[in-house]
Amino acid sequence: MSIQSDQSDQQTHPLDDLLRKDRIPHIWCPGCGIGTAFSACLYAIKSSKLDLDHVSMVSGIGCSGRGAGYINLDSFHTTHGRAIPFATGLKLANPDLTVVVFSGDGDLFAIGGNHFIHAARRNMDLTVICVNNLNYGMTGGQVAATTPHLAKTTTTPAGNPETPFNLPLLAYASGATYVARWTILHTRDLTESIGEAIQKKGFSFIEVLAPCPVNYGRRNKLKPLDVLRIYQEKSIIKHFASPSELHLDLEKGITLGKFVDQDKPTWLDMYYKTTRKKS
Amino acid sequence: MELWRIPLDRDHIQTMQGVVYILDERCKGCGYCIEFCPKKVLGVSKHFNRKGYHPPIVKHQTECVNCHFCEIICPEFAIYSKPLSVTESQNPQVTV
Ligand code: SF4
Ligand code: SF4
Ligand code: SF4
């Protein structure tokens, strides 16, 4: 047996064709989980067998919002919180497109929260991937709508007095047809789930837990490897768990899995049915 | 890999062998690949890359089972694995 080290392709990562290589290394900090979530998304797109000329990615503002700038497909980096309305317009103007929204918790659920619930209510045919790093990373680690109770951030030095959103419950209650949650350590399940969500007709939502070592981690004494060990030790995979039981508590345990997978007519189906009746 | 029980069919199950490639200049030294490789193939290198991080090095090449986990956990697109090519002439029993 001999190792055929093929020098010619030695420096070609399997995802290089989907990356804007001139912009790599990306801006994400060492140990930041966004890169792994993004990689899972690229693998899912790559193995989907879709015509890549008809796939596009939309991001908002924030660390995760940089995603759209690294994918070598048609992609859009929109204004803060407006990834979903932009993606909605894109989809309605060209219903043949597969539109993936890749953004962070602050962008999608704080400033863009209203857009999220209405796109889910309308069952807009989009796939929304939310990298949840539990704080506002890019602006310096302030408390977010997803920061766990009692966690320390720059704006809550004594601990967060508030209760965070339960994102899968919010997505389900608003009308999403596909809801899942994974961590970056469960990257195989995550990739499979993104693949399913892309194929699914209707509003699909996937929450990805990812460490932000530089801001959230530093203030809560969590090194990146420790966070991944927590993901390994404290997570329970429970498909179709009731969304109301999915509050995030890293101490008690994190429930992961696919929670909702249902079929409903999309906004476009309903629109055509209602307004373009054959006489 | 840490096994808490030895599989009964262990001696006649064929595992794949892989070769792992590292793109040193992309690495930011997070250590995820080293920590989570199921076969502990990788270790921390002593040398620095241009940005000052320690990329992983391959310590036990023959142990690699081409599971791709290092490749998919890496946030930096800096490591990947490929199946080891078997040259038929050197190993005629192996047929494709
Ligand atoms: S600030 Fe946090 S979320 Fe942003 S790139 Fe750095 S580690 Fe990642
Ligand atoms: S492919 Fe799997 S066994 Fe080989 S180095 Fe990577 S993680 Fe380890
Ligand atoms: S996972 Fe990637 S970035 Fe982290 S140490 Fe390994 S090769 Fe480097």
Q: Are A154 and A141 in contact (CB under 8 A)?
A: yes
| A76 domain-assigned | yes
Give B15's pLDDT tier (boundaries 50, 70, 90).
confident
- A231–chain B nearest CA distance, Å: 12
N-term to C-term CA, chain A: 72
Amino acid at A170: L
What Å distances lie between residue A209 and A52, A231, B60, CA to CA?
27, 9, 32
Q: Could A16 and B77 be called an inter-chain contact, meaning their C-beta atoms sit closer than 8 Å?
A: yes
| A2 domain-assigned | no
Query: Mean pLDDT in chain A?
Result: 94
Which helix (DSSP H) or strand (DSSP E) does residue A35 occupy?
A: helix A34-47
Amino acid at A251: E
Which residues from chain A sit within 8 angstroms of residue B32, using beta carbons?
31, 36, 224-225, 228
The β-bridge partners of A56 are: A74, A99
Q: What is the pLDDT of residue A177?
A: 98
Query: Mean pLDDT in chain B?
Result: 87
Question: Domain residues for A266?
Answer: 28-278
Q: What is the pLDDT of residue A73?
A: 97
Residue B96 has pLDDT above 50, yes or no: no
SS (H, E, C) A238-257: CCCCCHHHCCCECCCEEEEE
A35 Cβ inside 6 Å of ligand 1: no
Q: What is the pLDDT of residue A9?
A: 47
Listed in order, strand segments (DSSP E) in B1-96 are 18-22, 42-44, 56-58, 79-83
The residue ranking higher by pLDDT, A10 or A38, is A38
Residue B14 has pLDDT above 50, yes or no: yes
| A230 domain-assigned | yes
Give A4's pLDDT tier (boundaries 50, 70, 90).
very low
Give A278's pLDDT tier (boundaries 50, 70, 90).
low
Tell me if the pTM is above 0.90.
Answer: yes
> Cα dihedral angle (A267, A271, A272, A273), rounded to 10 degrees?
100
Report residue A139: phi and psi, to 5°. Answer: -90, 5
Q: Which ipTM was obtained for this model?
A: 0.92
Share of chain A above pLDDT 90, in %: 93
CATH of the domain at A197: 3.40.50.970
| A1 domain-assigned | no
| A3 domain-assigned | no
pLDDT mean over B44-55: 96
| A17 domain-assigned | no
Q: Could A36 and B29 be called an inter-chain contact, meaning their C-beta atoms sit closer than 8 Å?
A: no
- Reported as a single tens digit per residue, the pLDDT across A23-58 is 999 999 999 999 999 999 999 999 999 999 999 999
Q: What is the pLDDT of residue B11?
A: 82
- Reported as a single tens digit per residue, the pLDDT across A212-231 is 999 999 999 999 999 999 99
Q: What is the pLDDT of residue A171?
A: 98
Domain ranges of chain B: 23-90
- B14–chain A nearest CA distance, Å: 15
Fold of B23-90: Alpha-Beta Plaits (3.30.70)
Q: What is the pLDDT of residue B95?
A: 38
Q: What is the pLDDT of residue A2?
A: 40
pLDDT mean over B2-16: 81
Q: What is the pLDDT of residue A274?
A: 94
pLDDT mean over A8-31: 89
Q: What is the pLDDT of residue A10?
A: 54
3-class DSSP state of A266: coil
Interface of A with B (CB under 8 A): 1-6, 10-11, 13-16, 19, 24-26, 28-36, 38-40, 43, 184-185, 187-188, 191, 224-225, 228
Residue B9 has pLDDT above 60, yes or no: yes
Residue of A197, A189, A196, A210 lying closest to A37 (CA atoms): A210
What is the chain A residue with the closest CA to B89? A1
Q: Could A185 and B31 be called an inter-chain contact, meaning their C-beta atoms sit closer than 8 Å?
A: no
Q: B81 C-alpha vs ligand 3 centroid, how far in Å? A: 13
| A23 domain-assigned | no
Protein residue with its CA nearest to atom 4 in ligand 3: B30
Q: Tell me, what DSSP letter sits at residue A28?
A: P
Q: Are A254 and A248 in contact (CB under 8 A)?
A: yes
pLDDT mean over B15-27: 94
Q: How many domains does one find in chain A?
A: 1
Residue A90 has pLDDT above 90, yes or no: yes
